[in-house]
Chain A
Amino acid sequence: MNIIVCVKQIPDPANPGALDGNNALKRDGKLILDESDSYGVEMALQLVDAAGGGEVSLVSMAPNSETAGLRTALAMGAAKAVLVSDPALQGSDALTTAKILAAAVQRLGGADLIIAATESSDGYTGTVPEQMAEVLGLPSVTFAKKVSIDGGVLKADRQTEAGYDEVTCPLPALISVTAGVVEPRYPSFKGIMAAKSKPVDEVKASDLGVTPVGWDGAGQKITSVTQAEARAAGEVIEDDGEAFGKIVAFLEGLKVI
């Protein structure tokens, strides 16, 4: 069982986001593994384990040859990675990202299963995984919250607006997994040391034969950025044991009780 996990490397979400001169999200500082993808990495490691053989590989597209997030996933137990880093990719839209990642998957020779997160923490278009499946001609199960593989067939509980569906799908396939599906492991010291020497194959868009990319390939242009009207804060009080009375009075004032 060989599994490829999409790993996005993003600015630390603890810092407030900002736009650069081109109105793209700023990504110039240190990048980290998107927490949303840590679930995919963990799930891949567990599925390979359950299958009794195979390995987990990673694909990532990130600026400035960034590998910090990839190293975290390698330290968790992934074997190797393809990193696509190229100044020409700046300004790429989700469709171009999907084409690039699909080409990176092919560079690894494909896999039985490809795993992504339902949406990234910084871009959250939520379209990249399903676009990749279409580029690769694969079936897909998005929003999977429980996954198992039995005799070359994937079984998943797929979250829906009303509950969940049980879905089956033959391999090879692509899935996107929700947060909380599994508990991502912490890399061990041994894992962190081993990750330093694991292979990361860094390539450019031209090595993958994907054109056009970046601002040229994006079918969109940002035309304005404005501040939304801010909502003002009201009264904030410390509970002295009687604050519930304030809430009751507030609701009475609105005539909802």
Chain B
Amino acid sequence: MAINNIWVFAQVSNGAPTSASLELVTKARSLGGSVGVWVAGDGSAVAAALGAHGATKVYGIDYGSNLAGAAVASAMKSVIDAGDSPDLVMFPQSYEGRDVMSRLSVKLDRTVLTNNIDIVASGDSVTVTTPIFGGNTLVATTFTGGAPYLAAFRPKSFAPESTGGAAAAVQVVGVPDLGATGTANVTAVHVEETTGPKLDEADIVVSGGRGLGESAKYELVEQLAKLLKGAPGASRAIVDAGWVPYSYQVGQTGKVVKPSVYIAAGISGATQHMVGMKGSKNIIAINKDKEAPIFGIADLGIVGDVHKVLPKLIEALQGR
């Protein structure tokens, strides 16, 4: 057996597959064999984009207002039981991805390895790499037991690449009866408005942390980001405190960013934050504590008060 049949769980946003999904499809294609991609809703709308990145087949599934986890995992299980069984299923390390892989792992009684940044297939063995301790240490883990192997990957682990393949064939998959597990339903959707470049695509990111002192001071971060035509970001401390929405969070449980310039203002540099931004080309840190771990990875570190440095910096840039 080799790794011949790979599935990818993809997500669609504003009518197009997310870049994290295309990264996985690209990587799956490079591992060889056929690539089947699962998407919520109308598969034919994204069959061209997915095919261009290497998908040979698209499984479209409509689960209405249900949460994705039980619905998609059950549908995957029904296709597997009908004989179309993958050797490997790749998931993005996202909210929906986590729900689906967890449910599927129980249904198939297979382990799922999460938070990976790389994968190697050799013969019928699959090994994934996970960064731990803030990315200082890399752990390689090989699946034992039988396929399907289930693995989840952090965003930006691979580069998405179109090879101009033809649109993938679409198979519509029905959702089996979910019983009690299908009774959680979405009754309203709230989307937070954002302007400017997207956090995970911006060339410059300015993030603020608890060192800003209070919610109102986050405005300094937004002003600076706007002047630099970048995106504002945040540490989890101020997301949890309710100063900014979750979509601003950078780090292990937030977005992975790799901009040309990352400016960290009042952020200590916890390992969980650094794992989401240490791939930035240049890092500038402003922190009043010269022992703050963030200085260990900064190209330019300013030991100072954000309330003094940021306003002057903003003024200087406004004057240009």
Contacts and interface: CB of A to CB of B under 8 A. Distances in A.
Interface residues of B, number: 89
B143 A219 contact: yes
A250 B262 CA distance: 12
A164 B192 CA distance: 8
B143 A243 contact: no
The range of chain A's interface size is 35 or more
Interface string A212-242: 0000001111111111101101111111010
A237 B95 CA distance: 40
A163 B282 contact: no
A169 B302 contact: no
Given A142-B98, A228-B138, A233-B296, A220 B143 contact: yes
B295 A233 contact: yes
- What does DSSP make chain A's interface, helix, strand, loop or mixed? mixed
Interface in A146-194: 158-170, 173, 178-180
Contacts of B278: 231
Contact of B240 (A19, A161, A162, A178): A178
A55 to B, nearest CB: 23
Interface stretch (B33-41, B43-51, B104-112): B104-112
Given A168-B185, A220-B141, A250-B284, A124 B247 contact: no
A165 B138 CA distance: 35
B79 interface: no
A127 interface: yes
A108 interface: no
Interface stretch (B53-61, B156-164, B306-314): B306-314
B197 to A, nearest CB: 13
B181 A138 contact: yes
Interface in B291-320: 295-305, 308-309, 312-313, 316-317, 320
A236 B290 contact: yes
A219 B260 contact: no
Interface in B176-201: 179-192
A237 B301 contact: yes
A87 interface: no
Contacts of A257: 228, 317, 320
A250 B298 CA distance: 12
B63 interface: no
A228 B275 CA distance: 12
Interface string B105-132: 1110111111100000000000100011
Given A228-B137, A250-B284, A179 B112 contact: no
A140 interface: yes
A213 to B, nearest CB: 13
A140 to B, nearest CB: 6
Nearest to B242: A180
B139 interface: yes
Interface string B260-301: 110100000000000000100010100000100001111111
A239 B309 contact: yes
Contact of A230 (B109, B136, B309): B136
A95 interface: yes
- Of residues B111, B131, B303, B317, which shows the largest number of chain A Cβ atoms within 10 Å of its Cβ? B111
Interface stretch (A40-48, A129-137, A200-208): A129-137
A250 B300 contact: yes
A168 B184 contact: yes
A19 B72 CA distance: 36
A193 to B, nearest CB: 31
B94 A223 contact: no
Given A162-B247, A170-B183, A233-B297, A256 B67 contact: no
B109 to A, nearest CB: 8
B118 to A, nearest CB: 12
Interface in A16-74: 16-17, 19, 23
Nearest to B188: A166
Interface in A51-110: 93-95, 98
Contact of B105 (A16, A17, A95): A95
B145 A219 contact: yes
A233 B188 CA distance: 46
A246 B300 contact: yes
The residue in B73, B184, B188, B278 that gathers the most chain A C-beta atoms within 10 A of its C-beta is B184
Nearest to A154: B184
3 A-B pairs with the lowest CB-CB distances in the bound complex, closest first: A239-B304, A180-B240, A130-B102
Given A160-B189, A166-B190, A256-B204, 11 more contacts: A127-B101, A161-B95, A161-B246, A163-B247, A220-B143, A227-B136, A231-B278, A236-B298, A244-B312, A246-B300, A248-B313
23 contacts: A94-B114, A124-B252, A125-B115, A127-B98, A139-B181, A140-B69, A158-B67, A161-B247, A165-B186, A165-B189, A166-B188, A166-B189, A168-B185, A225-B140, A234-B299, A235-B301, A237-B302, A239-B308, A241-B308, A243-B302, A244-B309, A248-B316, A250-B300
Interface of B: 13, 67, 69-70, 73, 94-95, 98-99, 101-103, 105-107, 109-115, 127, 131-133, 135-145, 179-192, 203-204, 228, 236, 239-242, 245-247, 252-253, 260-261, 263, 278, 282, 284, 290, 295-305, 308-309, 312-313, 316-317, 320
